[in-house]
Amino acid sequence: MTIARLAALTAVAAALVQCAPAPDPTPEAAPSSTSPTTLAPEPATPVAPEPTAPPPQQPAPATVHPVTAADLATTWRPGCPLPPEALRAVDLDYWGFDEQPHRGRLVVHQDLTAELIAIFDQLYRLRFPIERMHTVDLYPGADDELSMRDNNTSAFNCRDIPGTGSWSLHAYGRAVDINPRLNPYVDSRGDYQPANAGLYVDRSRIDPGMLHDGDPAVRAFTDRGWRWGGHWRTPLDYQHFEFR
């Protein structure tokens, strides 16, 4: 092949390359017509409210009844300073040492029934514990010492003040003794009643059912004009409240 012919073929090949169509450009990805998914935040777990204490249990309404000599049994006898007609039996609720309501009975002067109901309603709402509440005729001979040893809360009992020959205000239905074993009577010599109350002569103790100056349970009485034996100089009678 001559040099002239080779040059001619080379020129033809170059022309063919220039005339070939250009390759299609790579298409760009079309924009998506769907918006990106946005994840909603999960709702916060609700926090349970702190449990609230149940409302205080209300005492059942107190009831008041006239009494006869037969009702009073050994707590009354002829010659007592008041006739049975001047007294009333009051049935009311109290809060026990078992943290449950109980029903008890106190006999008081007819003029003090509303006052007594209001006081014991307050003691109940304070959850001040009372061990038991019976009329004193439950004990042989209406013996006050036996009632106190049993830590029995009581009111009327036709008896005198020990060692004086004078009527106690209990004989007039104008005094109440609260948890007497826990709140003993202590005279100037340090002798105490009841006989099983020695542990509670120590008034620095704060056992449930004890009474101390300024306690809400004491003030339930004193704010209404009752006198508390724990305020006396001698003897000290921590169980005793009276209204003259």
Domain ranges of the chain: 63-242
Cis peptide before 54 (omega within 30 of 0): no
DSSP assigned state of 243: -
DSSP assigned state of 173: T
Which one of 43-57, 159-173, 186-200 scores highest in mean pLDDT?
186-200
Match 């006052």 to its residue by tokens. 115
Q: What are the CA-CA distances from residue 209 to residues 143, 193, 199 (Å)?
A: 22, 17, 14
- Reported as a single tens digit per residue, the pLDDT across 203-228 is 999 999 999 999 999 999 999 999 99
Beta-bridged to residue 109, according to DSSP, are: 87
| Spatial distance between the Cα atoms of 113 and 180, rounded to a whole number of angstroms | 21
What average pLDDT does the structure give for the chain?
Answer: 85
Are 83 and 56 spatial neighbours (Cβ–Cβ below 8 Å)? no
Q: Model-level pTM?
A: 0.77
